[in-house]
Structure 1
Amino acid sequence: MTPGIGRTLRQIRHARGKSLTVVAGLAGISPSYLSRLESGDRALDRRSLIVALANALDVAPTEITSGALATPGELDEERSLGAVRLALLAVSMGEPCGEWMPAEALTARVSDVLAAQRDCRYAVVGEALPALIRDLHTALAAGGDQRTLLRLLVLTHVQGTQAWLMDVGAPLDLAWQAATLARHAAERLADDPVAEAASAFGTGFGLLGAGALDLAAQTLAAPRVGTATGEQLQLSGMLALASSLVAAARGDQRERAAALDHATELAERSGDGDAWWFGFGPANVGVWRMSVALEAGEHAEAARIAQSVDPDALPSPTRKAAYWREYGRALARLPKRHEDAVLMLRRAERIAPARIHRHPFMRSVLAELLAKAKRDAVGRELRGMAFRAGLTV
């Protein structure tokens, strides 16, 4: 089996007419390791390695990752992708064609959508987003409470539109459109450092997904949000966490450690909070530490960190799903822990199926585990997950 991301990698290499030895040498890995990535025996689940391979093949990183997203069938939440795409195109052209309503009513609708996103009710989010996007931009164009509406737009496009698109495995161009709309709204709020920070978080993640690591680092470092209020403190903490992940992808150990230490110190000061729906706090920092360790290829360290995090203390289903997903991802690369990895991933799948079925990293991890699966109860769980993710079983 040559599934998803590995198959795409091999196809690009063949199209470029480059040998395993040449591409592996340019990417800084061995030819045998590259062969195992292409066959699915090893998961391609680190942004830094994807960028290195893309550079070796003279393509954009998204050329490698995008091919892993197409799967047979549809999840319920995916049925709204076309309507969301049309809404984003409409507002980008200045023709939202929505329904006007007062800011108070829009605020309540945004809150409902973000609550559903936090609870991993992605079908509900997808159904509500197209009209909400159009109505928010219609109200802004009509000249209502500009400051409130612009803040709602930043919040909605980062924590609603962009987050939902990433969770359901939509093409990166759609998530980038959402991040761009959030950035434009934040730029009109020139005196609002919190909105600027939220927008920078979304833009930074969009750049990270595209492999623009240096630009992502610059974007996340630009806001001067401060820590004078609880809201500012929590947004500063989220920027520090995102910066640590980018630093890990860049191989910058010093910046990675400094950013994580800063986020930890801010979390100790803030306690668990939910400013701008980020859920920043000590427990959430632990999950981010796992993700950062995984990005650096430190699977044993990520598993060790997981043991120090209480998943019941995490503030939302989406964070719990992230914990079990990252724990499983770590265990998948440790000797004699593959069965435990499957069980962790199954817990994540029960909370948020799309975050297992549609994320290219997780599909790659499932493929690696599948190649080693036994014909037992755990193997059946794994094959069920792989089938639901659209992999050949």
Structure 2
Amino acid sequence: MSDDQHEDRYIGQRVRAIRARRGISQQVLADRAGLSRGAIAKYENGERPIDSRRTLLALAAALGVTLGDLTGHEQDRMDPAVAGFHTAVPDIEVALWTQGNTTHTAPARTLDVLTAEAKRTAALRIACDYATLGPMLAPMLTDCYRHIRDGGPTDRDRAWDVLSMVAHTSAAALKARGYGALSWTAAQEAESAARNIGGTAALAATAFARSQVLLSRPGSLPAALTHAEGTAAEIAPDVCTVGEIEGLGMLHLQASLVTAAMGGDPEPHLTEAAETAGRLADAPAGTSILRNPTFGPANVQLWRMSAAMERREPGQVLALAPTLTPDALPAEGRRAQYFVEIGRAHAMKRDYQGSLYALLRAEHAAPQHVRQMTHVRELVGHMMRTARRDLTTGDLGKLAQRVGVVPV
């Protein structure tokens, strides 16, 4: 392997560099993080990947840094494939902060057009097409705010409904691309819209978005669980439409993942999610446009795989995989997640050929999404250091360049 190929990037390098700047020993860091000194040494030397959210959060908390400081999220913003999204973020920020009170002078689009565009942006987000999605968000937010400010009562109600969907889409996309604080602001706007239109779908979507942001912050797992569990309990008695059932189900799935990350048993929430999915077939459509069509029995099974991976149970992940057909998952991002979990499970069992095959299928399903995933980068970098030469000089080496763990 050439010297250039050894210049890979992994989380343990940043742990070592930050620990050195802090002037603390491996043993002190291990004690703070609740890990062994030997584990810290292996992470820092690249002998073991940091493939657990719990470990990553523990290290970030012990070092007093954010997850982005350890994962190098800033590198994602240099990816030309999603440059359009990152370029649009300042405009999204202005639209949210000013609530549309900007120097934008073009006439607002009609609510019929905005409704159609809101559904399109939601589909783009589910498909993980962030490059196309990003430039659409700020103008849509601005137009929604203008209808709320200038329209009559009927138009204002419709505008609040569209805003709830666009703000939720913005929150999810911003979180996925590493803008946690701005994602939180978008979730607040979605909640404001939800309070104005009534119903539970928007409230569920807001709580889900907030819990997702908190799940990526050291020390915030109890709050992440409270947002998911508490809102699910609050809205459950009033849930009846398809969109509301989808929102409730996603809250239970989120609660299952947070519970697993905290070392608990995710099964009660997964069971609740499965029972909630069973209500979809007979539910009325409802009037709100806010939906989460990815929720259903197949998605529940996928989150079972993710929860098992969070608990470091690769055998369980691989046992669950044949029970789910990827084509049954209604979104590219979900299909990618299916193959990522299989890839992580194979790697944990040191089956690097099986892992590589699964990761390549994941990348094919949703390249923009998969190439910026921390777990994928860490895993690919680990395989580059430990796998056979015929793997590292072929597809694995090319994948390592695409995900940014080695220089192009």
The reply to whether TM is greater than 0.5 is yes
- 1:279 lines up with 2:288 in the alignment: no
Q: Which residue of 2 aligns with 1:187?
A: 195
306-315 vs 142-151, which moves further: 142-151
1:242 positional shift: 0.4
Q: Which residue of 1 aligns with 2:348?
A: 333
Give the match's secondary structure for 1:277: coil
- 1:210 lines up with 2:217 in the alignment: yes
- Structure 1 residue runs of 5 or longer lacking an equivalent are none
2:98 aligns with one of 93, 98, 104: 93
2:318 aligns with one of 294, 303, 317: 303
- Over 3 Å counting, the alpha-carbon distance change for 1:62 and 1:375 in structure 2 is closer
CA distance in 2, matches of 1:228, 1:188: 19
CA distance in 1, matches of 2:102, 2:310: 39
Give the match's secondary structure for 2:348: coil
Question: What percent of counterpart residues are identical?
Answer: 31
- 1:251 lines up with 2:259 in the alignment: no
Per-residue Cα deviation, 1:45-87 (whole angstroms, up to 9, x for no partner): 322212222232233444333x244158523322331223322
CA distance in 1, matches of 2:142, 2:261: 36
- 1:46 lines up with 2:88 in the alignment: no
Question: What count of residue pairs does the alignment treat as equivalent?
Answer: 386
Per-residue Cα deviation, 1:232-278 (whole angstroms, up to 9, x for no partner): 2222111100011111111222xx22111111222233369997134
Q: Which residue of 2 aligns with 1:5?
A: 11
- Structure 2 residue runs of 5 or longer lacking an equivalent are 1-6
Give the match's secondary structure for 2:121: helix
1:152 aligns with one of 162, 175, 189: 162
1:200 positional shift: 0.7
Q: Is the 8 A contact 1:24 1:31 kept in 2?
A: yes
- Over 3 Å counting, the alpha-carbon distance change for 1:317 and 1:239 in structure 2 is same
Q: Which residue of 2 aligns with 1:348?
A: 362
Per-residue Cα deviation, 1:284-315 (whole angstroms, up to 9, x for no partner): 11111111112222222222222221112111
135-144 vs 20-29, which moves further: 135-144
Q: Which residue of 2 aligns with 1:131?
A: 139
Q: Is the 8 A contact 2:8 2:406 kept in 1?
A: no
Q: Which amino acid aligns with 1:193?
A: T
Q: Which residue of 1 aligns with 2:247?
A: 235
Q: Which residue of 2 aligns with 1:142?
A: 150
Q: Is the 8 A contact 2:174 2:183 kept in 1?
A: yes
CA distance in 2, matches of 1:23, 1:122: 37
> Larger C-alpha radius of gyration, 1 or 2?
2
CA distance in 1, matches of 2:44, 2:314: 21
Q: Which amino acid aligns with 1:252?
A: G
CA distance in 2, matches of 1:180, 1:8: 33
Q: Which residue of 1 aligns with 2:112?
A: 104
Give the match's secondary structure for 1:100: coil
1:261 aligns with one of 268, 271, 274: 271
Poorly superposed stretches of 4+, deviation over 3 Å? 58-63, 96-99, 271-275
RMSD: 2.5
